[in-house]
Structure 1
């Protein structure tokens, strides 16, 4: 039951036909776990608490650092050095005294996930970390739990809802169904080093909160079997649909415990040799993509080259995904690098390169080594 004060507090939300008293009560009875009290977790936590999610656990073993304050606005300068989970718990209790909030000041690992996840109705992946995302996916798949995940890269964010039970008793796509695990043998860089615009985590955290509320009120409306991509700079967005014929194997407890979860962040790779480039296209099946404007000179008269201007990359993202092996080229290497970073962000499994010397170097080598030119 909702108390008189709760009905007054949630009045604007209850007035929505899609919510009503029944929907508000569903939110009150919900029990969720937010993994990560950072840029994504803070805004999601604040709005879900205010919306009336009845039981919220906050899991994060990290402390508040000075670089966090740019985007984790739940925290203040005088709280530097304190545990994020503890401070977040204190703040949320002030936002809404009608809900139960629990702090779990621990870092995520396989054993902890296996122990804690099953006590909740839904998991929020607010880690923005590849390894953690795959671990959360595997444990949620094992326990048949839904989870809402978001990720960030510079000006771009993505969000999706995974492993949701459908009316026929089956489950929607999980994260591995859309993004199979990256090659662990590849070199990697820390994803945190890429940087992020301050407001983007807030935007994506609120998208996560929105999906959580939708799940408990009417899960048919959730962003399932797809991932939504949003560019905060251009305000463009698109969705990546899951191939429902592809289903990743569900891991056992033993397999999860034995998995190292060393999933690398996509690394921007460059090629500086035209000879190396043509070796990759002729022997390894790589596709050459010219990201200059359509009428830009010199014309790239190279057999098999495809023209996809940088500004149209998002429109051709699915096509590039099917190619799986691509090398981007432009006038000087600047635009090809941007194309590579963009595609590697949304499709970590695509093998991408940027040809840095530029199109003229490539054309000169092609003319010298191709008899009919």
Structure 2
């Protein structure tokens, strides 16, 4: 491992060089490391900033989304000038400004069972900054199959979680993973999203920064990583709890599966979709379409598309909406996840021409801006 550092590097990383446990050899480990961050949102933004600032040599970013106004409350890599840009490209520009010595690799796509193993292959550690259960199980299983460590974080309202999965233990075995903590996902729709119930803007910063801290500990081989331990943080009380969980032996991960189906959601590739550009064109040409908003009333009050009918997903699961089943229906939510579920429900109710808006109102708003 190359331990030669330029004068510029010695100046930049001077506080690390003088820190016991890091020093020159530790900084060389960071420079040689490759870390993949999946999700450049609330958790990924602070983690990326501190990993780049610390001098992690190569950082990969996986995210297909574009920056929207609703992101700016908590996703601190972006500003007004980046609205509509791909998050991975906006993130790279900011990170290279922060530390031009770091290499940034971009994957402007959604992680899937067809690409996950190929994308993970060249990285040492994976940081999970995602916000949905199918992708969390996908990342976990891919890390297990590829022998990668996963640093997990999640946030909701005023609470956050943090853990390290599939860590390499001193005896050569692997520590517990996400399935040891959560063997099965919650029922679809049971856990509201941050778009539905909100999120304290600073909370992803707290958890995302601590994810970066766990990554640095693992790369440096120092401290006690959160393997087999789940840290629970309550922002309202400022209190933390540490829950220990064992490795289970009653299951095997042999292949990547259909995670949408596993989590009780319809497979995205089988659903009829419409993108923001096409919807915008249809509305401007005043084509005969019915718009259905399946978000909550509070989300609807903050903004909607044209003359949309509010019919929250929870209500849709109980009854059909008062729409013409023979005419085209376009369903949307905040990002496209709830609307995918809504399309399956509407099809079951007998609607023939129903589409869900790819990327939700976030994508549409970015297009219109």
Give the TM-score normalised by the residue count of structure 2: 0.68
Q: Does 1:154 align with 2:157?
A: yes
Q: Does 1:124 align with 2:95?
A: no
State which of 72, 88, 98 in structure 2 corresponds to 1:95: 98
Structure-2 separation of matches of 1:111 and 1:226? 30
Counterpart contact for 2:59–2:103, Cα < 8 Å: yes
Counterpart contact for 2:21–2:222, Cα < 8 Å: no
Q: Does 1:163 align with 2:166?
A: yes
1:104-253 to 2 correspondences below 5 Å: 104-182=107-185, 184=187, 189-218=192-221, 221-244=224-247, 246-247=248-249, 249-253=251-255
Q: Secondary structure at the match of 2:114?
A: helix
Structure-2 separation of matches of 1:263 and 1:109? 14
Structure-2 separation of matches of 1:247 and 1:219? 28
- Corresponding residue of 1:325: none
Structure-1 separation of matches of 2:188 and 2:40? 30
Q: Secondary structure at the match of 2:104?
A: strand
The alpha-carbon deviation at position 248 of structure 1 amounts to 5.7
For residues 124-143 of structure 1, the C-alpha deviation after alignment (integer angstroms, 9 at most, x for no partner) is 00012222111100000111
Structure-2 separation of matches of 1:186 and 1:10? 46
Q: Compute the RMSD of aligned alpha carbons.
A: 1.8
Structure-1 separation of matches of 2:194 and 2:264? 9
In structure 1, list runs of 5 or more residues that go unmatched. 266-373
Q: 1:74 to 1:187 in 2, by over 3 A?
A: closer
- Corresponding residue of 1:79: 82
Structure-2 separation of matches of 1:84 and 1:93? 14
Counterpart contact for 1:138–1:250, Cα < 8 Å: no
Structure-2 separation of matches of 1:191 and 1:217? 33
The alpha-carbon deviation at position 3 of structure 1 amounts to 2.2
Counterpart contact for 2:137–2:259, Cα < 8 Å: no
Q: Secondary structure at the match of 1:229?
A: strand
Structure-1 separation of matches of 2:109 and 2:223? 33
- Corresponding residue of 2:296: none
Q: 1:50 to 1:183 in 2, by over 3 A?
A: closer
Structure-2 separation of matches of 1:198 and 1:112? 31
- Corresponding residue of 1:29: 32
- Corresponding residue of 1:296: none
- Corresponding residue of 2:52: 49
The alpha-carbon deviation at position 243 of structure 1 amounts to 2.3
Q: Secondary structure at the match of 2:226?
A: coil
Counterpart contact for 1:165–1:172, Cα < 8 Å: yes
Structure-2 separation of matches of 1:151 and 1:57? 20
Counterpart contact for 1:131–1:264, Cα < 8 Å: no
Structure showing greater Rg:
1
- Corresponding residue of 1:10: 13
Q: Secondary structure at the match of 1:202?
A: helix
Structure-2 separation of matches of 1:150 and 1:68? 18
Structure-2 separation of matches of 1:248 and 1:12? 46
Q: Figure out how many residues of one structure are paired with residues of the other and give that number.
A: 262
In structure 2, list runs of 5 or more residues that go unmatched. 266-369
The alpha-carbon deviation at position 186 of structure 1 amounts to 7.3
For residues 349-372 of structure 1, the C-alpha deviation after alignment (integer angstroms, 9 at most, x for no partner) is xxxxxxxxxxxxxxxxxxxxxxxx
Structure-1 separation of matches of 2:259 and 2:118? 16
